[in-house]
Structure 1
């Protein structure tokens, strides 16, 4: 979601003074937080108020819910920032609490953050996989009617200090309504810096660059005279203008000539 920033394990208490302008930039933002307890936890959510009008906040030690309306669409959405505990039994109680909460509030749902759990053994490398814990997590996802977009950039989001243990602990889980409204949305695992977790980005902006300007089949390369024709055409092409426009015009020009050439060759045969 391009209008919200969800941070886990902030370690910020009630008296902490932290300048979030350095993270968000100069544009206007609002924030809500769950304070850390001692050295544990801390959750922070920042959002763009011109895009999301938050009218209800729910706080728990392990999650922070922003409920409001997407201004441009007039759609109610619930955004849940999660920092799940290490203890498996406490995590199972968390899944129950999140499910009950989802069933009690209207609107679209997006759960994001560090779930501290994997869904199957392929999401761990060189660390213990406990099937019963994964099953409890998957049962929560199924009961809540949640799905997740395929993630690019990396298969894993957590890397241990020594770099030998990898896990996919961070993800976005969204309701069917979000999947249907933004079917081309994508999730990308970004490079990590100071943290042992990769930040993950959910973008609903479609990455559609339009029609394919040129398509070439390998079988054409085997046709007598085709490669020589392309070389000759490329050497003779002249265009005065920006490089990106020159490439577009050149491909369109080649396409038209190749279509005519192929038509003649087919008529010969």
Structure 2
């Protein structure tokens, strides 16, 4: 199952809708967690703008004034929801994976920015987690960092980081290494950077998906970068053909491949054209290599025969010379 988490700073923007919808399609997203929807009437917002025409389920928490607001969107054919718990600062969607029956609790979090609010929130989250069974995936904007390396040009308060790390330890959750960048929040002027967004998973989840990945994507229409947790390995199908670096040792090989690649033409869909071109190029390379290897073997055998005859002739000459002497 692939999850996307993003602080959108408001969803009423067609550019943001197009952006999220594109990410959902490109990365095969099954669950989206949005922070700061800024919707006081979220039930009336058309969340299908973010999800396309496919069936989806929704859980929302309205904003208070012009800030906050949470939304979770998921694919019911992949994840079946059995219950929802809401708070001002989080939404928990409880359910199971349809294919395996594995129970998972997804928590979408948008933490307050002040230390007093953090401490109360961490305590509330621990109470909820300890009262429920199943694997846990916590995601969202935690509004705090774990150490000084997660901030650049902004204030780091060690005491706040200690409280956050203690919460993570008490909750029994861990992080996957994040690829794509070190920071998820970038100020408008581009100078202040922090890692505020993250995924925290329970040990059972990591044991079940040890090869899962977390990736921070480019910031397009928000001051936060979307982050993706992927447990589904992308399969691009069979390798078109094996390619060996040693082929570059053949004189003229690279020029031949470039010439053949440039001469290929096909009128049809791009994906089909690529598949046909690779198959065509494979056959061209095989034919070229066969001729080149045959030529090399011919030269090798010729040289080998010449050396053999030279040794044979030279040996006889020495023998005759000794008898004559």
| Structure 2 length-normalised TM | 0.69
Q: For 1:15 and 1:227, how far apart are their aligned partners in 2?
A: 64
State the match for 2:242 in structure 1: 213
Q: For 1:247 and 1:92, how far apart are their aligned partners in 2?
A: 62
CA RMSD of aligned residues (A): 3.3
1:244 to 263, 278, 281: 278
Q: Pick which of 10-19 and 197-206 moved more.
A: 10-19
* Structure with higher helix content: 2
Q: Pick which of 23-32 and 132-141 moved more.
A: 132-141
Mapping 1:176-215, distance limit 5 Å: 176-207=203-234, 213-214=242-243
Q: Higher relative contact order at CA 8 Å, sep ≥6: structure 1 or structure 2? A: 2
Residue 74 in 1 paired to residue 118 in 2? Answer: no
Assess if the C-alpha contact under 8 Å between 1:214 and 1:255 holds in 2.
no
CA, structure 1 residues 257+50, in 2 after alignment: closer, same or farther (shift >3 Å)? farther
Deviation at 1:184, TM superposition (A): 2.0
Residue 53 in 1 paired to residue 80 in 2? Answer: yes
Q: Classify the secondary structure of the residue corresponding to 2:233.
A: coil
2:198 to 171, 176, 195: 171
Describe the superposition over 1:208-242 as per-residue Cα deviations: whole angstroms up to 9, x where unpaired.
6678934548xx99xxxx4548569869999x982
State the aligned residue count: 259
Q: For 2:100 and 2:221, how far apart are their aligned partners in 1?
A: 36
Deviation at 1:206, TM superposition (A): 1.4
Q: For 2:189 and 2:44, how far apart are their aligned partners in 1?
A: 31
CA, structure 1 residues 244+65, in 2 after alignment: closer, same or farther (shift >3 Å)? same
1:39 to 63, 66, 69: 66
State the match for 1:104 in structure 2: 131
Residue 93 in 1 paired to residue 120 in 2? Answer: yes
Q: Classify the secondary structure of the residue corresponding to 2:201.
A: strand
Assess if the C-alpha contact under 8 Å between 2:257 and 2:285 holds in 1.
no
Q: Pick which of 34-43 and 12-21 moved more.
A: 12-21
Assess if the C-alpha contact under 8 Å between 2:42 and 2:62 holds in 1.
no
Q: Classify the secondary structure of the residue corresponding to 2:96.
A: strand
State the match for 1:132 in structure 2: 159
Deviation at 1:253, TM superposition (A): 8.9
CA, structure 1 residues 235+187, in 2 after alignment: closer, same or farther (shift >3 Å)? closer
CA, structure 1 residues 129+213, in 2 after alignment: closer, same or farther (shift >3 Å)? farther
Describe the superposition over 1:103-127 as per-residue Cα deviations: whole angstroms up to 9, x where unpaired.
1110010000101011111111100
State the match for 2:22 in structure 1: none
Q: For 2:259 and 2:189, how far apart are their aligned partners in 1?
A: 56
List alignment gaps of at least 5 residues for structure 2.
4-28, 265-274, 305-325
CA, structure 1 residues 181+246, in 2 after alignment: closer, same or farther (shift >3 Å)? farther
Deviation at 1:250, TM superposition (A): 7.4
Q: For 1:162 and 1:232, how far apart are their aligned partners in 2?
A: 47
CA radius of gyration, larger in: 2
Describe the superposition over 1:114-167 as per-residue Cα deviations: whole angstroms up to 9, x where unpaired.
010111111111000111111111111122221222222222111111111011
List alignment gaps of at least 5 residues for structure 1.
none
